[in-house]
Structure 1
């Protein structure tokens, strides 16, 4: 599962309860999260979620949280990426992607069938920043390649702030154009959806999106290394968090949930 949690914007306390309810309903084995808050007094969103759900967690903070802090005035709260896992996390690493203080977090998950290399990231958000996101992908894919394991394809989750036919997603996939890392092809799990749903994760049905004035778009992804018919093959995919809970929208993004063999 991948989900952008919209940091501390809106009524974040009420949203926290809606986030927990959604995660409980979906019961993901592994979840990549973006815009995760961490207060410097020790209260940490990833830890709170993990405790509520009985999961393990890992977190990496952005080195440049100022653009978020300036919007809410909370200069003592950090922002970053996190991974929640039903199974132990045996190793972590963080890669610097540049731009607006963007990073990628790696967590090696000790799943019952063997280790799974999981990654989560959040690329620059400006509508005109495709070139910056392309540069971030040039850093991102070598980091993914460096942390691969032998018997499970890498699983890359995140908010790419870019649509499927963008230059940055084409480069990240490596099958519609030359891959960043030779031999590393990452398949968009939504391509396995068997319906006509466009898969919008930034959807104007959500009032937080409607207020932004931006059009609906699919910008959040689960990308899985193309490794044949074995472990890690995408079986099915759907969206989550697409309705309010008790009148509260959990985030301005919808989540993507992919079932992997």
Structure 2
């Protein structure tokens, strides 16, 4: 029997949840803007609709703006306009909590990782894993209480160079070992920029298994580039869970909103 039921009063009536299954999405939103030059367009409002449609319990987001003065001026007077406040808070569906920490500070603003959670969150942490001065990278750590279980959500966005990613896996492993009690489940999700599919073994050595659909289940995983996806850059790694299914939404609307597609996985406690 499907245990997915309507949310209690006080939450958006269109959202649902399961007492047994945790639905997780990871999405690189490209700072809510697409295109270049005069063809640049604001997609943050469409992204809000898309994220709500994913109906995930936890949404791991990368390339999220806290603010950007130049983009705000550019889009302030366009249809709907640049949202007030940070993008994480703006994108959170009704009834969700949001957590954000900055990874990179630029000339006109800053951006980083965010978590949107249908479930209560604890103290928000941030761990710098920048490997060199040209790429500012970080891990967002958010404890989440799901069905009375404490799990540790870590939002990641790894570097563009393989050697940097290898060192960032080690820093992630050190962080989890130091900050997460051995018996508590962990989800690490984000954009790993692993074009050559070379990180799974290193993550397994750190005690984190990649969420892949079991045999016989649909297992769409490629997410980049969004118009003609070839690479599985966006992933969920887990400890203490089993993966039931994976899904990547497709179509022109999703291809328009970001250069990545979101990955959605269904999990159950191991």
Confirm or deny that 1:118 pairs with 2:153: yes
Q: What count of residue pairs does the alignment treat as equivalent?
A: 223
User: What displacement does 1:30 show?
Assistant: 0.7
Give distance in 2, aligned partners of 1:163 and 1:49: 28
Larger deviation, residues 29-38 vs 247-256: 247-256
Largest Rg, 1 or 2: 2
- CA displacement, residues 178-222 of structure 1 (integer Å, 9 cap, x when unaligned): x2xxxx42111125374565521103635xx7xxxxxx2111101
**How does the TM-score come out when normalised to structure 1?**
0.76
Structure 1 consecutive aligned stretches of length 4 or more whose deviation exceeds 6 Å: none
In the alignment, which residue of structure 2 is the partner of 1:58? Answer: 99
User: What displacement does 1:18 show?
Assistant: 2.2
SS at match of 2:123: strand
In the alignment, which residue of structure 2 is the partner of 1:254? Answer: 261
List aligned pairs for 1:117-136, cutoff 5 A.
117-125=152-160, 129-136=161-168
Confirm or deny that 1:25 pairs with 2:40: no
SS at match of 2:175: helix
In structure 2, stretches of 5+ residues that fail to align are 1-24, 70-83
> 1:19/1:85 Cα in 2 relative to 1: closer, same or farther (>3 Å)?
same
Give distance in 2, aligned partners of 1:198 and 1:55: 27
In the alignment, which residue of structure 1 is the partner of 2:15? Answer: none
CA contact (8 A) 2:88 2:98 kept: yes
State the Cα RMSD in Å.
2.5
Give distance in 1, aligned partners of 2:208 and 2:242: 11
CA contact (8 A) 2:123 2:142 kept: yes
List aligned pairs for 1:48-127, cutoff 5 A.
48-50=90-92, 52-62=93-103, 64-66=104-106, 75-99=107-131, 100-125=135-160
User: What displacement does 1:14 show?
Assistant: 4.2
In the alignment, which residue of structure 2 is the partner of 1:186? Answer: 208
User: What displacement does 1:170 show?
Assistant: 2.2
CA contact (8 A) 1:117 1:149 kept: no
**How does the TM-score come out when normalised to structure 2?**
0.74
